Amino acid sequence: MNLTLEQFLKHFRHPTVFVTNPHAWVTGNVPFLELSNTTSMEAPKTFHAFLQDNPLLAQNIDKVFQTHGSFNLRDIDIKGPFKRIHPMDVEIFFATDDKIELTCLIFYDRTLGEKFEEHKKRIDQINTLTTIASGLAHEIKNPLAGIKAASQMLSKTLKNRDSREYAEIILKETIRVNRLISDLMNLTKPRKLLKKKCNINQILHQILVLQKEAAPSFVKWHENFDPSLPAIKADPEALSQVFLNLIQNAWQSLAKKGFVKVQTRFVTDFRLKQKNKTRQVIGVTIEDTGVGLSLEQVQQIFLPFFTTKPEGTGLGLTLCHQLIEKHGGDIQVTSVPGSGSIFSVYLPV
């Protein structure tokens, strides 16, 4: 069966483009349009500028037309719009379509492998710290129960007002520590997900209705939901817990007027592997213009007990990471101090 170029491109998740000689745009897939930040209507014009920014590609396109061969460019920096650099491998080869000579370029993002290694390392760190902390929590829980019981008795029997107040403070703080320990122990419990088909846009909408009421009036909200997203099989309560935490953190990071943007979309530049199969991915991004995070904070943000809040326990984002991981997904964060943060959640379809 003969495939059209458009049908051929649908089989590729990597950015792919066909050109004629000399360097004229023919067609490209959605991942390439995203890489070059253009549309299918604008691409014939913008592709020339793309090649000007990447002369090595233009040189090798010429070589392919001359030799009818193929070339592989390894570990090169592709310049995209806004001076963004994309480390990539590029495969360039000769092709024909209805006797028209073409060159095909396929771009392979080298950072995906690096992200996978970072993701694996982060999971190992979280699992190790959670296991150690859970063991300590078990050791602390019993003596803490004794302290709680003793402080309750003291608050009832002490007649001196100041002494009774001190006993009540001990009781209050003991209850707080006990709640923290319970949260920590829940991290190591194999929580069973109750999966069913659910609409991610609907889950987010329900959370936003309440959070808009809870947040200060100076917080501006932006929503951009892709209505074409399919239902996914997931635990709606677990996802609600994750997104409530992330959205709440977003508006709480705003010290003054700013915005929180919540967006859903199909992710086309990579897939998630689950049970030896690759799955299509939907993405949820939660962006704020708050105080932002330093590189050191970003590297530790999902670790148990790490927090940037004076009253925080440092377990909320660890639990978020764990719940998304159990869904076969991933959660990532990018941030600039003083400019805000973007939390990206990826879930398999």
Domain boundaries, the chain: 5-109, 113-188, 196-348
- Structure-token match 């194999």, residue found: 190
Q: Which stretch, 54-68, 118-132, 288-302, has highest mean pLDDT?
A: 54-68
Q: Do 290 and 250 touch, CB atoms closer than 8 A?
A: yes
* CATH code given to domain 113-188: 1.10.287
By DSSP bridging, strand 219-224 and strand 258-274 are: parallel
Peptide bond into 22 cis (omega under 30): yes
What percent of the chain clears pLDDT 70, i.e. is strictly above it?
A: 82
Q: Any residues with CB less than 8 A from the CB of 242 and at least 6 apart, and which?
A: 320, 323, 324, 331, 345
- Give the least confident one: 76-85, 117-126, 278-287, 307-316: 117-126
- Reported as a single tens digit per residue, the pLDDT across 157-187 is 888 888 888 888 888 888 877 777 776 666 6
Average pLDDT over residues 5-28: 81
Backbone angles phi, psi at 305, to 5 degrees: 75, 0
The DSSP string of 268-320 is EEEEEEETTEEEEEEEEEEEE-SS---HHHHHHTTSTT--SSTT--S-HHHHH
Q: What is the pLDDT of residue 2?
A: 46
- Give the least confident one: 15-19, 56-60, 124-128: 124-128
Higher pLDDT, 188 or 345: 345
119 pLDDT above the threshold of 80: no
Instruction: Give the CATH number of domain 196-348; options: 3.40.50.12160, 3.30.1490.100, 3.30.565.10, 3.40.50.970.
Output: 3.30.565.10
Backbone angles phi, psi at 77, to 5 degrees: -95, 115
- Reported as a single tens digit per residue, the pLDDT across 229-268 is 999 999 999 999 899 999 999 999 998 888 999 999 888 6
Average pLDDT over residues 216-221: 93
**CATH T-level fold of 5-109:** Beta-Lactamase (3.30.450)
26 pLDDT above the threshold of 70: yes
Average pLDDT over residues 78-90: 80
276 pLDDT above the threshold of 70: no
CB-side neighbour CA atoms (13 Å) of 66? 7
Q: Do 286 and 245 touch, CB atoms closer than 8 A?
A: no
Using CA atoms, how far apart are residues 179 and 5, in angstroms rounded to an integer? 59
Best CA proximity match to 148, nearest among 121, 181, 178, 126: 178
Average pLDDT over residues 11-17: 79
Using CA atoms, how far apart are residues 302 and 230, in angstroms rounded to an integer? 29
Backbone angles phi, psi at 108, to 5 degrees: -115, 115
306 pLDDT above the threshold of 50: yes
- H helices of the chain, in order, are 5-10, 30-35, 43-53, 55-67, 111-157, 161-188, 200-214, 236-252, 295-300, 316-326
- Reported as a single tens digit per residue, the pLDDT across 187-209 is 666 568 899 999 999 999 999 99
Using CA atoms, how far apart are residues 342 and 292, in angstroms rounded to an integer? 9
Q: pTM score, two decimals? A: 0.56
What percent of the chain clears pLDDT 90, i.e. is strictly above it?
A: 26
218 pLDDT above the threshold of 80: yes
Burial class (CB in 10 A: 0-12, 13-18, 19+), 335: buried
Using CA atoms, how far apart are residues 227 and 344, in angstroms rounded to an integer? 18
Higher pLDDT, 269 or 143: 143
End-to-end distance of the chain based on CA atoms, in angstroms? 29
1 pLDDT above the threshold of 60: no
Average pLDDT over residues 36-58: 89
How many other C-beta atoms lie within 10 A of the C-beta of residue 38?
A: 20
- Reported as a single tens digit per residue, the pLDDT across 88-115 is 889 999 888 777 889 999 898 776 655 5
Q: How confident is the model at residue 54 (pLDDT cuts 50, 70, 90)?
A: very high
The four Cα atoms 110, 114, 119, 125 give a dihedral, to 10 degrees, of 180
Q: How confident is the model at residue 116 (pLDDT cuts 50, 70, 90)?
A: low
Using CA atoms, how far apart are residues 328 and 332, in angstroms rounded to an integer? 14
Higher pLDDT, 12 or 75: 75
Average pLDDT, the chain: 83
Higher pLDDT, 213 or 98: 213
Q: Do 234 and 347 touch, CB atoms closer than 8 A?
A: yes
